[in-house]
Amino acid sequence: MFIRSYQPADLPACKQLYTELVQTHRELYHDEMIGAPDPSVGFVNQLQQRGHEAFWVAEEDGKVVGLIGLIIESEDGVIEPIVVAKTHRKQGIGTMLLKHVIDMAKTKGLRFLNIRPVARNRNAIRCFHRAGFQTLGFIEVFMDLRGDFVAEEGLKIHDKLFDW
């Protein structure tokens, strides 16, 4: 297992990984409308906007099994996306990807490194916390204007109860 720079030949595997990421979000939120009808378009758009040098992959036995990207905004970095193939999760690959990008961010002299997981992705949040992402920087809240979002209850922040 090793981490390397993204190469154009990785496109099919990375599109599949991005599709798995969107599918995970759909399952977590019981909402098939999350993402585009073809979720892999999201990765293609990011690739076109940021260039291949903003992405790295985890490779095992010649197969791409993980993907991570780094957006640089002045002195800050944002990790987007990060995904490990379902068949390879809970093996430390996500941690390896994070460590690689953390090292890259330090080398580039960034001040802060952010990651924005969806609130229901407990496994990802635990992984990020173990990797050192322990300072809560911002909170995004939304209002369901249609009234059809299926929320879970019981997340308390600053003595306020939120659905999530």
State the Cα–Cα distance between residues 97 and 101, nearest whole angstrom.
6
State the Cα–Cα distance between residues 6 and 111, nearest whole angstrom.
24
51 CB contacts (<8 Å, ≥6 apart)? none
State the Cα–Cα distance between residues 61 and 2, nearest whole angstrom.
10
Residue 162, pLDDT score: 87
State the Cα–Cα distance between residues 115 and 68, nearest whole angstrom.
11
Per-residue pLDDT in tens (0 to 9) along the chain, 164 residues = 999 999 999 999 999 999 999 999 999 999 998 998 999 999 999 999 999 999 999 999 999 999 999 999 999 999 999 999 999 999 999 999 999 999 999 999 999 999 999 999 999 999 999 999 999 888 888 898 998 888 888 888 888 888 88
